[in-house]
């Protein structure tokens, strides 16, 4: 399985959330944590973001 790293603009586009909302939800434990890519770069694992989206869809429909 190939690991894909998403940067913040892609995470924002896929989730529809703003930067501040993403970081607020991370601090609340309600969004996948970012991983460090270097001194000033972070990313998110694609499969974790997709799982989060899938759970939001399930929660809203059931």
What pLDDT, on a 0 to 100 scale, did the predictor assign at position 62? 74
- pLDDT number for residue 45: 98
Each residue's pLDDT, cut to its tens digit, for the chain (62 residues) gives 689 999 999 999 999 999 999 999 999 999 999 999 999 999 999 999 999 999 999 999 97
The class of domain 5-61 in CATH terms is mainly alpha
DSSP output for 1-61: ----EE-HHHHHHHH---HHHHHHHHHHT-SPPPEEEETTEEEEEHHHHHHHHHHHHHHHH
């Amino acid at each position: 399985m190939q690991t894909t790293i998403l940067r913040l603009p892609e995470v924002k586009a896929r989730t529809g959330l703003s930067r501040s909302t993403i970081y607020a939800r991370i601090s609340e434990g309600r969004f996948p944590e970012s991983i460090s890519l270097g001194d000033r770069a972070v990313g998110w694992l694609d499969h974790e973001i997709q799982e989060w989206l899938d759970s939001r869809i399930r929660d809203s429909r059931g």
